[in-house]
Amino acid sequence: MDIIWNLLIQRGIPATEVALYKEVFVILILLPVVTTIIGIARYVIGIKSLGIFTPVIITFLLYEFGNNAGEQDIWKAVKYGVLLYTITLITSWLVYRVLKYLRMNYIPKLTLVTLGVVISLFACIVVAGIVGFNGPVFLNKFTLIILAILVEPFVSAFARKGTSYGFNTAIDTFITALFCYIFISITRLQSFVETNLLIIPILIIVNVYLGRFTGLRLNEYWRFRSILFGDNKTTNDQPKQDN
């Protein structure tokens, strides 16, 4: 990667600006890193997440929450993340439950759920400010918008698969995202991708392998435990006569 940075410096771009270019590259290349982790979580471990969009968004939300003057403050990210995510999830479920029995078109219904979530998020920020915890109001405004639009995957999970499935996958999604966030905020990883193009072939190899992976997922070892840990059926092993 140094060739590119040197090229930029040779073209007369000041070193402070080159740092910004580096930052852009790091944040962009971390996206496929995150999706790779989500892929591993799904195909190797078997964690269900709400699509690929939701965990990615939450990962970078946490990345933004944890931003403390350029450094990553993991504790801060977890604190804000858990609080705001929980509020969004619970409010969207509550409002959805009320609206479930009304016959409504999809988008207006979603809008009402979003309205509920937006109100509760704002109320929470106000209450936090009153009790002397005014951190949330300094968050990037755009992150709050992204957070509020998470109602769409939540509501669609509740609508299609029911409450418990919705909550389970939403929590799994958050845990996956949290893991992704902690992984990408490791400074050593960031400096590795910044200086080393090796990350690209690594990502290609891992994903090609993952794409052809036909093994049992970890949770399937649990799901099929009665067969896997049970007695081998002798009848299955015996070659039966061919007709």
Give whichever of 161 and 192 is closer to other proteins, judged by the CB atom.
161
Give the span between the Cα atoms of 155 and 113, in whole angstroms.
8
Residues of this chain that interact with other proteins (CB under 8 A) are 43, 46, 103, 105-106, 156, 159-160, 212-217, 220, 223-224, 226-230, 232-236, 238, 240-241, 243
Give the Cβ contact number of residue 110 at 10 Å: 21
CA distance to 8, 82, 191, per residue, from 17 (Å): 9, 34, 17
Give whichever of 201 and 215 is closer to other proteins, judged by the CB atom.
215
50 contacts: CB under 8 Å, gap ≥ 6: 153, 154, 157, 169, 170, 173
Name the minimum Å distance from CB 147 to other proteins.
Answer: 23
| Beta pairing partners, 68 | 71
Give whichever of 10 and 232 is closer to other proteins, judged by the CB atom.
232
Give whichever of 141 and 240 is closer to other proteins, judged by the CB atom.
240
CA distance to 1, 70, 103, per residue, from 197 (Å): 6, 23, 54
